[in-house]
Chains A and B, each alone.
Chain A
Amino acid sequence: MRIGTARSSYRHDESLFDSRTQHAWLAVLAVALLGFPFFADEYWLYLACLVAINIASTTGLNILTGYTGLVSLGQAAFMGIGAYTVAALEQKLGTPVLLNLLAGGFVAMLGGLVVGLPSLRVKGLYLAIATIAASVVLHFVFANWHSVTGGHAGITVAPAEILGVSFDTSFRLYWLFVPITALMVLGAANLFRTRIGRAFIAIRDRDISAEVLGIPLLRYKLLSFGLSSFYAGVAGGMWAYFFRVVTPESFPLIMSIFFLAAVIVGGMGTILGAILGAVFMTMVPEALKLIVGWLPLSADATLILSPVRTIVFGALIVGFLVFEPLGLQEIWRRIRRFFHLWPFRA
């Protein structure tokens, strides 16, 4: 809590954002998000949409891994369920976009509930392997359930359309994805101020103690899997509307590792961590490309530097794990703390 924000009522005590400074910065963020599409070109809008999708999915995985302590490597497969649900509904029934996205979330949630069952008996690496196995099974279903998924060729998705407006450019999709992601992040932030969220944290800290405290492990672990998969499903649905082609190869295992890395790099068990982690994992490869592009080098040097860039990206991740195990959110917290007293204390 920062200086000068003494809480004087229960309402104030329960508020998500409790200081005027926070409100002011949130207003700045909102203005920046609203103004961004009018200044950014197609490339930056594309990246903004991609970041929004990745934040939604990373936040979902953070609920499961960061807050409940259940390691999952199935996030990409759950995104696949959402993406295929949206693609199939769009192609076969032409149902409204928001309904499709919700359906994508709920179908993925069902998948998550099934995959979550082993979490009662196994934890840690064993659970991670169980979720990989589930990913393999889902990949097989995506590739072979031809009547629904289109087999290996996949499904081509028509652009999202709401009230006659076709969301076929990154500019338009931005106005769809960013509010949805913002709602999902806000939902997750609020979740951990409820009994359910606190139960997740109790399970993460010590599941046996949580059970002794009266938290039904089956219900809450499955709920965590379900919620996480719901987030992945909606993110997958947005992915389907974004890339407009869904194939079994769209959601490989490496994508699940990407989200797990985002949770760890960002900071496990914090909402801001998931956001920063997703931004970092999506943007750093692009930022490195830009930096290499600025260097006064020949085209051949670009070729040589491409693998170097990959190594730098890997080294950055390892560097964060070694020097800041609490993740990017801890760095962010330190920056904030520094400015709380600045310029009175350096």
Chain B
Amino acid sequence: MNCFYRAFNELDLDLQKTAFIGGIGCSSRIPLYINSDAMHTTHGRALAFATGLRLARPDLRIVVFTGDGDLGAIGGNHFINGCRRNVDMTVICINNNIYGMTGGQASITTPHDFLSTTTPQGNKEYPFDLAEIAVAAGANYVARWTTRHVHELTKSMKTALQKKGFRMVEVVSQCPTNFGRRNKMADPTQMLDWFKESSVRRDKARAEEIDHVDLNLAGQITIGEFCNRDRACFEDLIGVGKHGE
């Protein structure tokens, strides 16, 4: 949130012309804390609400705050189609690798073998790599950082806010209460340490060495700007009014 505000203010953007939309979950409540128009929608559907609002009002800037489960699990279909359709919006996905609001159930980004309330014997599934999915699905800008990399994150958010089309910034974030505590990282600084040690720049990681879909204690979190392209945004393709940045 801090990085977002810093980015927003440095770009001198207008809060009054920005609408914030969130789904359900800790991350999705952020729009409610911002002093602007906000929509707290149903679980997983924030992108669909955002699409409707944006196309009805191309003069508004849309920022969506969502979480890993909200975006990648229940919202998966809207996520990939949102990237494909490339409607103008900035999506900040706060990935804490867990369903925190409801007490700590496994999410689609919970690393393999990790513990949660619904994986007491260790998570047998392998996690999604949300940023890579966004790249493959066609988003115009995709970046992933952790909360340990606040300066880079702020800079990425600034870049994202200025582009057109579907932009996504994934923020790997600590949840010491429901994730860290069950996985020997109860202190937030322990989680930040884990982020620092596990992250590797995507452009520096060689594909055969890093299996970034297998994110576990031995694995790596790839970070950086994953893609930065200028596919035509949907508003331009259908010729809907002029839109804000």
State yes or no: do A and B come from one complex.
no
Binding site for B on A (CB under 8 A): none
Binding site for A on B (CB under 8 A): none
